[in-house]
Structure 1
């Protein structure tokens, strides 16, 4: 498992976190950046200035900072990430309190998934924060849940050259059929040695994929006898998040249109 280094360089961590926020959540004012990072406005301004210098950010006419050329080269998701994160976090916190394992929120970007929020477990041996990480969708638990919600032709379009992508498409289709049948996906050490995760999709009203929630744990704690308990807790969090997203003013309009 990949967790935060014991001797992390805080300024580097802040800069990388800020770049991730600009890429995934859109423009930020200095005050907003300071609040998100938990630093002073002067520190946030210095960080943003350095990101501008290296083309990771640029300042618009409204004085807000947005992703620069370097970050815009990466794929983006159509999901409103800032709203997703704000609505999902309380339910993720409740989920972690219930199962005592780390919870992650992710969105699909083409054939990958990007982690946009994490709530860590309080256990000493735990899966760390995954915000900003990008993984192949066909390996991650939440990614598989999202792929399972796609129509067959859209799945095929994601992998025009399955061999080059390292995907066995017939095998993946069979696995996604099982995911649809049982309502959740499992990643048993496919993305990281020592990590097991369960993922479930947060659907649009028409059943299309929107985002996914997952529970991630050290593989040594994965117990199939607890599977029903974990799935029940995950389903509760997904249902609550979906309900609150539908009620959110901006997203509610797009979902109902």
Structure 2
């Protein structure tokens, strides 16, 4: 049996308790959460808002909250996650300083894209941090560039029986990604958000991660694609060298 900590942090305890309730008992209204935690409705609302921000909860169309992506079981990734988190941020920040768009570092875990780190730009209208979130790999730019490295047989095995994915269409899309050497997510995961990704190769030349610009769609311009892709590739090479 676990003993209660001597110095209990009530707000952390409430947030963890609420995350467990969402995972184990299903969707909750704000009033339900307040009653279960014995806190005010406003406090429950703030706690749920923070869980949504960090990917532990998701608000449904009926206004109830359910467990988010972070609470779903996820496949392991072969990428050197700890090393990537250690070496990549300085290079990501320098890239942000040059281009003034937010930059994400992500890896693929099965059919999911896992965001490891974000360097945010300082523009008023910007894409915020996605760190610790997971999204379907076939929808994100980083996921697509990493899926493009798989063989046809590997891709088929990965998505066999997955009703979310039109496999022939995905295969055609990934063939175009391989030809171009970069991937674009044009509002597939979130309205008003466009992302561009390239791979971060490992020492053996195989991709271990993806590096992506994420920007408001109103600032996306195909005329600037060569500039953005070139900047991403330079930084990806710097991260590859640092990994070695």
TM-score normalised by length of structure 1 = 0.66
Q: How does 1:99-248 map to 2 (within 5 A)?
A: 99-162=99-162, 164=163, 166-246=164-244
Residues of 1 paired with 2:72 and 2:193: CA distance? 31
- Is this contact kept in 2: 1:150–1:208, CA < 8 A? no
SS at match of 2:125: coil
Residues of 2 paired with 1:178 and 1:155: CA distance? 15
- Is this contact kept in 1: 2:141–2:212, CA < 8 A? yes
Structure 1 residues 171 and 207: CA distance shift in structure 2, 3 A: farther
What is the Cα deviation at residue 120 of structure 1? 0.3
What is the Cα deviation at residue 220 of structure 1? 0.5
Residues of 2 paired with 1:176 and 1:71: CA distance? 29
What is the Cα deviation at residue 90 of structure 1? 1.1
Residues of 1 paired with 2:168 and 2:157: CA distance? 14
- Asked whether 1:76 is paired with 2:84, we answer no
- Is this contact kept in 2: 1:143–1:212, CA < 8 A? yes
What is the Cα deviation at residue 74 of structure 1? 3.4
- What CA deviation, in whole Å up to 9, does each residue of 1:122-178 have, x standing for no partner? 00000000001101111100000000011221111110114x1x1111111111111
Residues of 2 paired with 1:209 and 1:228: CA distance? 21
What is the Cα deviation at residue 71 of structure 1? 6.8
Q: How does 1:24-35 map to 2 (within 5 A)?
A: none
Structure 1 residues 80 and 153: CA distance shift in structure 2, 3 A: same
Residues of 2 paired with 1:71 and 1:218: CA distance? 27
- Is this contact kept in 1: 2:203–2:240, CA < 8 A? no
- Is this contact kept in 2: 1:147–1:176, CA < 8 A? yes
SS at match of 1:193: coil
- Is this contact kept in 2: 1:113–1:143, CA < 8 A? yes
What is the Cα deviation at residue 73 of structure 1? 4.4
What is the Cα deviation at residue 244 of structure 1? 1.0
SS at match of 1:214: strand
Q: What value does the CA root-mean-square deviation take over the aligned residues?
A: 2.2
Q: Mind listing any 5+ residue stretches in structure 1 that lack a counterpart?
A: 1-10, 20-69, 247-257
